[in-house]
């Protein structure tokens, strides 16, 4: 406390000695501070007792702290991440650079020891201060933490001015006509266009618009990982939501239940579908846009990044005239892209291809696609029964969720159809136990399934900033990595092209379990998934971890990425 008072006295003394502040104004400022709180420097500037520039120059000269013009300085995004947005806004501080163990920060009040202590703790480095004005640092915080670019900031300002609508609580009634009008105004349309355009430029698969008590956060999922890009004023929440609902043909008056829709965007190069999911939350509706690029379906299995061994087994299985092929893995692991790539390859004029999905992700020509809708009784099971009466050659069931669907799909595979579907299991062998748990007879599973593949997506090391990295020998030995002598391992150090992540793009990794006679016998006998897995490994099957490590040895990805995406065994 004593130290804080002495620092305040020092600030007052400097201003008085340089005749930048009168005793009368100082007394008034201290009274305001006592009554309302806040930093003295802010009060002096707010009530025009001292100009921002005079305050900065004076403090800089007297304290030996250099000034900085943030408007002329470009800060590395990696440096910005050293200090969270809430700390930057609270203390009006922004990190500018870091050299070895010294981080340089620009501040309005470099005498705020609480700010310095917090920054030191966050960065685990010594703090060197530089002076800036209140307006400059607020502009920098908006640029690097907020709306992101000058273009975006300008659009946000125009969008805010374009409507007088205020944010309302979810229980209130909003003037639907005014909302519709606001949702069709040019600034709001341009704002959403910029958000979508930035997502496409950054290769984002998803756009998250997330409402909070005082802002709307915009995050992009790039190569499977979410990154925060913008924070928009809370005032724009309703008009943005309305605009999206208009585009997706959703009910703008309904805000208490989830809604789903879709719309298309045309760029100079291609057409992209966006699947829209609206979910009511405590602070308004959260919206997630999933970008579905049909161009991904035409690249074929060979370009999905699978290793030659698993890929060959996969190709042999899909060449069978009938039977079931299952793809397993968590949400977002690329199962749909792989299945659609297969269907696209098998989509010839002499074949009748039918899918039943929830939702229909990609709309593909010459394939009959059915949208499951449990509310009207069109479930996977009931839809599949109808599909079988349509004389199909190839059937794709989006997901097997219950025993009835599994039973019908398996019986279809036994009676001449080639059936593709997905399950949520951690590895390939566990899919067998999952089907048995659903009530499917083991002999039906053994007779129908041709292949089960577990899939994951791992990020590729960015080719632009790829550099060798040393991995300790004991780490490689522990992981069972057997690399040739002199092998080099790589990681990405981060650059502008990969958004400082060190990764650019993703590739598939497969664990392929081919169902042979021995495994059929083990299924009928009720053998555990671990025993089936061990037998398959003895016959050459590589686990997800082993496939991933091979990609690491090849220099395609990093060790950290493989350990992040796969489990042991």
- Who's near 400: CB < 8 A, 6+ residues apart? 326, 380, 406, 409, 421, 422, 423, 435, 438
State the DSSP code for 378: B
- Distance, CA of 504 to CA of 277 (rounded, Å): 26
Q: Give me the percent of the chain exceeding a pLDDT of 70.
A: 89
3-state secondary structure of 22: coil
Q: Which DSSP string do the residues of 49-114 spell out, in sequence order? A: SS-HHHHHHHHHHHHT--B--GGG-PPPHHHHTTS-HHHHHHHTEEEEEEETTEEEEEES-TT-HH
157 has a pLDDT exceeding 50: yes
- Could you give phi then psi for residue 212, rounded to 5 degrees? -125, 180
Closest CA to 179 of 105, 92, 285, 74: 285
**Distance between CA atoms of residues 213 and 306, nearest Å:** 44
**CA 363 – CA 273 distance, rounded (Å):** 9
Three-state DSSP at 397 gives strand
Local structure of residue 360 (DSSP, 8 states): -
| Average predicted confidence (pLDDT) for the chain | 84
CB atoms within 10 A of CB 139: 17
Q: What is the pLDDT of residues 288-319, one digit of tens each?
A: 999 988 777 766 788 888 999 999 998 999 99
Let me know how long the chain is: 569
Structure confidence at residue 165 (pLDDT): 36
For residue 265, give Cα distances in angstroms to 126, 241, 247.
48, 17, 10
pLDDT at 185: 58
Tens of pLDDT, residues 379-401: 889 999 999 999 999 999 989 98
Query: Parallel, antiparallel, or unpaired: how do β-strands 102-107 and 93-99 relate?
Result: antiparallel
Q: What number is the average pLDDT over the span 172-179?
A: 48
Would you say residue 474 has pLDDT above 90?
Answer: no
Residue 25 in tokens? 């104004």
Q: Are 156 and 230 in contact (CB under 8 A)?
A: no
CB 504 within 8 A of CB 303: no
pLDDT of residue 122: 86
Confidence of residue 139 (pLDDT cuts 50, 70, 90): confident
In the beta sheet, which residues pair with residue 506? 459
Say which residues have a Cβ less than 8 Å from residue 58's Cβ, sequence separation at least 6. 14, 15, 18, 20
Closest by CA to 277, choosing from 264, 290, 266, is 290
Q: Is the confidence at residue 534, as pLDDT, over 90?
A: yes
The whole-angstrom separation of Cα 30 and Cα 44 is: 9
* Nearest alpha carbon to residue 384 among 344, 351, 417: 417
CA-closest candidate to residue 304, choices 543, 553, 509: 509
In this structure, what DSSP letter does residue 171 have? T
Can you say whether residue 355 is alpha, beta or left, with left for phi > 0 and alpha for psi between -120 and 50 degrees?
A: beta
DSSP string, 503-566: EEEEEEEEEEEE--HHHHHHHHTT--HHHHHHHHHHTT---HHHHHHHHHHTTSS-HHHHHHH-
Residues 327/338, Cβ–Cβ less than 8 Å: yes
Q: Which stretches does DSSP call E strand in 237-322?
A: 259-266, 271-281, 284-293
Would you say residue 178 has pLDDT above 90? Answer: no
8 Å CB contact between 453 and 512: yes
28 neighbors 36 (Cβ within 8 angstroms): no
- 245 sits in the region (left: phi over 0; alpha: psi -120 to 50; else beta) called alpha
Share of the chain above pLDDT 90, in %: 39
Q: What digits encode the pLDDT tens for the residues 219-254? A: 999 998 888 887 888 888 888 898 899 989 999 888
pLDDT digits (tens, 9 = 90+) for 408-419: 999 999 988 999
Alpha-carbon span 184 to 264, nearest angstrom: 17
CA dist 260 → 112, 180, 238, 289 (Å)? 49, 19, 17, 10
* pLDDT reported for residue 548: 92
Are the C-beta atoms of residues 421 and 397 closer than 8 Å to each other? yes
- Give whole-number Cα distances, 247 to 22, 98, 180, 194, in Å: 59, 45, 11, 15
Average pLDDT over residues 490-501: 82
Range in 80-84, 210-214, 361-365, 532-536 the model is least confident about: 361-365
User: Which of left, alpha, beta for 526 (phi over 0: left; psi -120 to 50: alpha)?
Assistant: left
Using pLDDT thresholds of 50, 70 and 90, give the confidence band for residue 358.
confident
Closest CA to 105 of 86, 133, 132: 132
């Amino acid at each position: 406390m004593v130290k804080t008072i002495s620092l305040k006295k020092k600030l007052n003394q400097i201003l008085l000695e340089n005749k930048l502040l009168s005793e009368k104004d100082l007394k008034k400022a201290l009274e305001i501070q006592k009554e309302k709180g806040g930093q003295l420097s802010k009060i002096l500037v707010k009530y025009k007792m001292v100009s921002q520039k005079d305050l900065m120059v004076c403090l800089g000269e007297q304290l030996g702290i250099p000034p900085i013009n943030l408007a002329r300085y470009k800060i590395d995004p990696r440096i910005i991440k050293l200090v969270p947005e809430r700390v930057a806004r609270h203390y009006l501080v922004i990190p500018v650079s870091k050299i070895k163990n010294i981080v340089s920060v620009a501040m309005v009040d470099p005498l705020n020891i609480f700010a310095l202590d917090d920054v030191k703790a966050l960065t685990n480095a010594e703090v060197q201060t530089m002076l800036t004005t209140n307006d400059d640092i607020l502009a920098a915080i908006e640029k690097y933490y907020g709306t992101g670019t000058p273009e975006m900031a300008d659009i946000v300002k125009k969008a805010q001015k374009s409507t007088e609508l205020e944010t309302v609580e979810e229980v209130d009634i909003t003037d639907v006509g005014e909302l519709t009008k606001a949702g069709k105004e040019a600034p709001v349309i341009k704002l959403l266009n910029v958000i979508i355009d930035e997502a496409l430029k950054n290769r984002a698969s998803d756009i998250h618009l997330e409402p909070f008590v005082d802002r709307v956060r915009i995050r992009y999922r790039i190569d499977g990982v979410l990154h925060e890009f913008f924070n928009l004023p809370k005032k724009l929440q309703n008009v943005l939501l309305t605009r999206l609902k208009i585009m997706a043909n959703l009910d703008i008056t309904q805000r208490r239940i989830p809604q789903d829709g879709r719309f298309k965007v045309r760029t100079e190069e291609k057409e992209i579908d966006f699947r829209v999911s609206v979910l009511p939350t405590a602070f308004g509706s959260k919206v997630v846009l999933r970008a579905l690029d049909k161009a991904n379906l035409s690249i074929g299995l060979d370009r999905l990044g699978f290793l030659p061994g698993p890929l060959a087994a996969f190709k042999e299985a899909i060449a069978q005239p009938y039977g079931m092929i299952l793809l397993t893995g968590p949400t977002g692991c690329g199962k749909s892209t792989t299945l659609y790539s297969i269907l696209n390859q098998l989509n010839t004029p002499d074949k009748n291809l039918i899918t039943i999905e929830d939702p229909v992700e990609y709309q593909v020509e010459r394939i009959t696609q059915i949208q499951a809708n449990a509310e009207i009784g069109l479930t996977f099971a009931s839809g599949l029964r109808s599909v079988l009466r349509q004389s199909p050659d190839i059937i794709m069931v989006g997901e097997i969720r219950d025993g009835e669907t599994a039973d019908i799909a398996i019986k279809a595979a036994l009676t001449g159809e080639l059936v593709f579907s997905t399950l949520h299991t951690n590895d390939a062998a566990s899919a067998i136990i999952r089907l048995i748990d659903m009530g499917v007879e083991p002999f039906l599973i053994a007779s129908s399934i041709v292949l089960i593949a577990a899939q994951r997506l791992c990020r590729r090391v960015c080719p632009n900033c790829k550099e060798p990295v040393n991995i300790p020998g004991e780490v490689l030995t522990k992981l069972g990595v057997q690399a040739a002598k002199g092998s080099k391992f790589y990681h990405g150090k981060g650059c502008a092209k990969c958004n400082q992540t060190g990764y650019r793009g993703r590739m598939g990794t497969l664990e392929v379990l081919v169902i042979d006679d021995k495994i059929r016998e083990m299924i009928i006998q009720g053998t555990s998934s671990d025993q089936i897995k061990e037998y398959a490994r003895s016959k050459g099957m590589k686990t997800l971890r082993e496939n991933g490590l091979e990609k690491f040895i090849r220099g395609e990805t990093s060790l950290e990425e493989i350990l992040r995406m796969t489990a042991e065994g």
